[in-house]
Amino acid sequence: MSFLMPKRTKFRKQQRGSIAGLSKGGSYIEFGEFGMQSLDRGWVTGPQIEACRVAISRYFSRKGQVWIRIFPDKPVSKKPAETRQGTGKGAPDHWVACVQPGRVLFEVANVTREEAQEALKLAAAKLPFRTKFVDRLERV
């Protein structure tokens, strides 16, 4: 099973970096009618994004439309278990998307508000941080 990851990158490995502050972009609903917005910061892996997508699609059962607004483009490296320190950085293990508060993660359309709320609630249970349901009309 192939999860989300970039086709190619300029460098194989990256440093962890900082995800302080609020989301710089992607904080409004652009495509759908309802969405899921992050309230906390953290990393979301490719399998977690796929699990959310599957949960939403299954709940809608062939109706509605789903947009994924995040993409895992950061490689996370890992050293093998029981390896001594030193000998450099480990090999790339998986990919993550860095999420800051305010970022819209998923958007849905062509479904009722109640259906959208329930589907996004099921998807939110698959994520490692708190989220909230947002409506396109609530744009400030």
**pTM (2 decimals)?**
0.89
100-109 residue pLDDT tens: 999 999 999 9
Look at 3-7, 29-33, 108-112 and tell me which has the smallest mean pLDDT.
3-7
- Distance, CA of 36 to CA of 13 (rounded, Å): 30
pLDDT average, residue stretch 20-44: 93
CA–CA distance from 134 to each of 36, 58, 70, 84 (Å)?
6, 21, 16, 47
Q: Which domains does the chain have, with CATH numbers?
A: 41-77+93-138 (3.90.1170.10)
C-beta separation of 38 from 105 below 8 A: yes
